[in-house]
């Protein structure tokens, strides 16, 4: 990951998880800037680069199966650990909708229907070309 040495990655993931354990449930979400400050011990100085580093750590936790959810609502939103199955289900549904919108755009660009494109993807993955 750019900006963090590999040996520090585990340390920062542990710090991130420690902070997130205090933010269980959507109602207790924490904003990006505050989360960055608590994980790295310094204010967020470059909104884009610092957010990218933090998102990379969040992605790493998600790849380990830790249910880190995010929300962007009018009251501020932020990151949190799912407190119940319904929160995780809602977050996963939003991921699926976003993924389908991206696939729909690919289908339009390739001048195919979404089912045609999904069929090609299934065949490619099944044929191990992926």
- Condensed to tens digits (0 to 9), the pLDDT of residues 22-37 reads 999 999 999 999 999 9
- What pLDDT digit, counting tens, does each position of 30-70 carry? 999 999 999 999 998 888 888 899 999 999 999 999 999 99
Token code pair at residue 12: 């920062």
Q: If you search the block for the tokens 């992605």, which residue do you land on?
A: 59
Q: Where are the alpha helices (DSSP H) in the chain?
A: 6-20, 32-40, 47-63, 85-109, 114-126
Task: Tell me the pairing of strands 68-71 and 78-81.
Answer: antiparallel
pLDDT exceeds cutoff 50 at 73: yes
Query: How many Å apart are CA 25 and CA 46, to the nearest integer?
Result: 28
pLDDT exceeds cutoff 80 at 105: yes
Q: Which of 52, 70, 61 is nearest to 15 (CA)?
A: 61
Q: Which of 12, 18, 36 is nearest to 81 (CA)?
A: 18
Instruction: Please state the pTM of the whole predicted model.
Output: 0.81
pLDDT exceeds cutoff 50 at 130: no
Would you state the pLDDT for residue 11? 94
pLDDT exceeds cutoff 70 at 3: no
The helix (H) or strand (E) run that includes residue 65 is: none
Local confidence band at 127 (pLDDT 50, 70, 90 cut-offs): low
């Amino acid at each position: 990951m750019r900006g963090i040495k590999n040996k520090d990655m585990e340390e920062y993931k542990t710090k991130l998880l420690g902070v997130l354990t205090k933010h269980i449930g959507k109602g207790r979400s924490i904003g990006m800037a505050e989360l960055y400050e608590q994980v790295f011990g310094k204010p967020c100085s470059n909104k884009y680069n610092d957010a990218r580093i933090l998102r990379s750590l969040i992605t790493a936790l998600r790849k380990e199966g830790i249910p880190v959810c995010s929300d962007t609502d009018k009251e501020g939103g932020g990151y949190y650990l799912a407190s119940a199955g319904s929160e995780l289900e809602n977050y996963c549904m939003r991921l699926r909708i976003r993924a389908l919108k991206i696939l729909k755009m690919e289908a339009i660009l390739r001048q195919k229907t979404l089912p045609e494109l999904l069929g090609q993807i299934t065949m490619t993955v099944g044929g191990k070309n992926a």
